[in-house]
Amino acid sequence: MKIKGLVFDFDGLMIDTEMPRLETWQEIFAAHGYSMSMEDYYKIIGSDEVAYDPAEDLSNKIDHRLSTEDINNQVVDKSQEMIFHQPLLPGVKEIIIEAHRSGMRLGIASSSHRDWIVPLLVKHDIRQYFDIVVTREDVTRTKPDPELYLTAMKELDLNPENGIAFEDSRNGIKAAKAAGLFCIAVPNTLTRAMNLQNADKIVDSFNDLTIEELINFK
């Protein structure tokens, strides 16, 4: 069946947000004499609906001298400043422009906040290519629940089987597949070590894809 729409995750897929966030978490843990394991960090990639809360963990370790809100604010302030200066990952802009020119419908489905995503889309001059941007403000449950993708496909006026989702994490892949979309995994430096085999295809970067291949993806 012909593919008519592409839906992109944002964090870690279009911009490397994961490394700055990991480094920030590790620095904050280390400042209090603790360490954050990669195993724990993998639990929070792609969703906030997970069993592990690093801010709560650290707050408990330091006898609540800092609240979870204080810790999260520190992480957000430092990591977002780093992320704002990150470039788009290889091939992202090119595939978006080519897809737009081909007449495909384009959307974003992200567990992040709208006021985080949209300014970065504008900064990198790609907001105009997206027909819809669906974020956590638009749903009751984020990834790995499929609601973000189901909402995106509804707003694009397409059936799930006519769409491809691009993801970089297990939670995102699970959400896309549960919504009935094909899913291509484009892992970043951190998620490359995760088991992403539930995706329909895994590529090293967007440079490995062509619009012709995506339109006829099976």
* Cα angle, residue 23 at apex, residues 20 and 29 outer, rounded to 5°: 140
Tell me what the mean pLDDT of segment 43-58 comes to: 78
pLDDT tens figures, 105-147: 999 999 999 999 999 999 999 999 999 999 999 999 999 999 9
Q: Does residue 9 carry a catalytic annotation?
A: yes
Tokens of 110: 């992200």
Contacts of 89 (CB under 8 A, 6+ apart): 13, 14, 15, 16, 186, 188, 205, 206
Spatial distance between the Cα atoms of 55 and 57, rounded to a whole number of angstroms: 5
Closest CA to 59 of 81, 45, 74: 74
> Given a cut of 80, is residue 51 above it in pLDDT?
no
131 is catalytic: no
d(CA 160, CA 153): 6
Round to whole Å and give the CA distance between 21 and 171: 17
Confidence of residue 47 (pLDDT cuts 50, 70, 90): low
* Nearest C-alpha neighbor of 167 from the set 9, 17, 60, 27: 9
Closest-CA residue to 174 (of 1, 3, 9, 4): 9
Mean per-residue pLDDT, 29-42: 90
11, 16, 145, 168: which one is catalytic? Answer: 11
What DSSP assignment string belongs to 106-172?
EEEE-SS-HHHHHHHHHHTT-GGG-SEEE-GGG-SS-TTSTHHHHHHHHHHT--GGGEEEEESSHHH
Q: How far is the C-alpha of 96 from the C-alpha of 117, rounded, in Å?
A: 16
pTM of this structure:
0.86
Residue 103: CB atoms within 10 A of its CB come to: 8
pLDDT digits (tens, 9 = 90+) for 55-85: 999 999 999 999 999 999 999 899 888 898 8
